[in-house]
Chain A
């Protein structure tokens, strides 16, 4: 691992994305538009106040998962990864370089989505808004690192898109968005405890309703961070300098 090579990789990924304005637009705008749609659907009810915070966890998570998994898969398929691994680039440099680049995009995306939900859609946040943004960012970074992880197990773009229902959908179903997690049947509740998105939704709800202190939210953030680090480490382990 070497800071120069890691940062060179981050800068390279960011300048690749800079050449693709459509991707930037999609990354920044799509989650906000979807949150706006949910708010519109529930205009005459108070449902948005309940599920709005969870939307901040959901959409950036999904978008970052897809973008990251496909970008890194492309790197594996075009032979640039093989070139890099025949050079003095460490596996950690590669993964961390990507994580930093997409993490930065996740920060921008989460700031825009949170601002849009609060000031445009009128989502009420009783707790600290910055804590809300912090959780949303951690969650988008988590989506990014899980995308890196998934790309290691896919050979084609078709396969990596299939990982989206396999890895992401169960977390959405069990994350407390459809049914509060404490009302889930026995067994499912315990499974949902082990899914990272559940903790992101819990933390966002806690900030929105101001029902827990900052220490609780910090604990949830740590759990999300641990999953992100785990995905990065396993992702790095799957990078092989020698392939058959």
Chain B
């Protein structure tokens, strides 16, 4: 287990309730620094709630969330954590550049940062355009560009590649890796399993629990599956033996259901 010096995020016993339902119930997790970590799982499994807790905008019922050595949401972290929500949270009655210029002033980042973020997200041709006239893919890139301002140490991105052109998606993933090489820690959620192989590490999540905390290679090797989708299915069947009735589990043993530690 990583200690809090070389971990970007350390979570112990995190509990979150929304209304009468418990979304996260005693979640433990550690995310290393300087890596691209994918958070994968079906819609509604608690990915966004977990990300909000890390950013410090989620009201939590208990547990400890430490980000870059400080309690999540503390004042000093607001310069160091970039957050992109699922819905593009930018002003649609401003141009791309006006949006970024405002967020830059709020962050107190350098003036050249706006152009750097525009270049990084390939928005140069649209910089003077009103956000309301952009396509969905362009819109989510504006939101991403805003999170790149001020070069945060941790980027928390909630499904940043949804609805993007495949070429652009490849470009963004290489941007994410360039950022990680430069020391930025990234946590990126997705419900598209084929993006798993692009990550340095993977967190597989289902119904508020982390099923696996591993690397793409380890995941495939350990489950014997051909791709991430198959590996996820294998893990699910291991945790929920009822699903195993449909299909024989590759390499499964009768004790597989108790095999919680193996995936870690």
Which listed residue, B19, B73, B108, B130, touches A19 by the CB 8 Å rule? B130
Task: For B79, give the chain A residue with the smallest CB separation.
Answer: A88
Whether the Cβ atoms of B98 and A12 lie closer than 8 Å is yes
Question: How many Å lie between the Cα of A214 and that of B15 in the bound state?
Answer: 60
Which residues of the other chain, B, contact A85 by a CB distance below 8 angstroms? Answer: 57
Whether the Cβ atoms of B89 and A79 lie closer than 8 Å is yes
CB within 8 Å of A: which B45-99 residues: 55-60, 73, 75, 78-79, 81, 83, 85, 87-94, 98
Asked if B178 is at the interface (CB within 8 A of a chain A CB), the reply is no
Which residues of the other chain, A, contact B17 by a CB distance below 8 angstroms? Answer: 244
Question: How many Å lie between the Cα of A242 and that of B61 in the bound state?
Answer: 12
CB within 8 Å of B: which A2-34 residues: 4-5, 8-9, 11-12, 15-16, 19-20
Minimum CB–CB distance from B217 to chain A (whole Å) comes to 34
Whether the Cβ atoms of A78 and B89 lie closer than 8 Å is yes
Interface size class of B (residues with CB under 8 A): 20 to 34
Whether the Cβ atoms of B56 and A86 lie closer than 8 Å is yes
Asked if A179 is at the interface (CB within 8 A of a chain B CB), the reply is no
Which residues of the other chain, A, contact B59 by a CB distance below 8 angstroms? Answer: 240, 242-244
Whether the Cβ atoms of A86 and B91 lie closer than 8 Å is no
* Contact of A78 with B87 at beta-carbon distance under 8 Å, contacts A86-B57, A88-B79 already known: yes
Minimum CB–CB distance from A86 to chain B (whole Å) comes to 5
Whether the Cβ atoms of A86 and B106 lie closer than 8 Å is no
Asked if A87 is at the interface (CB within 8 A of a chain B CB), the reply is yes
Contact with B along A60-96 (1 / 0, CB 8 A): 0000000000000000001110111111110000000
Q: A8-B106, A79-B85, A83-B146 are in contact. List 6 more A-B contacts (CB 8 A).
A: A84-B106, A86-B57, A88-B78, A89-B106, A242-B59, A244-B59
State the B residues within 8 Å of A (CB). 17-19, 55-60, 73, 75, 78-79, 81, 83, 85, 87-94, 98, 102-103, 105-108, 130, 146
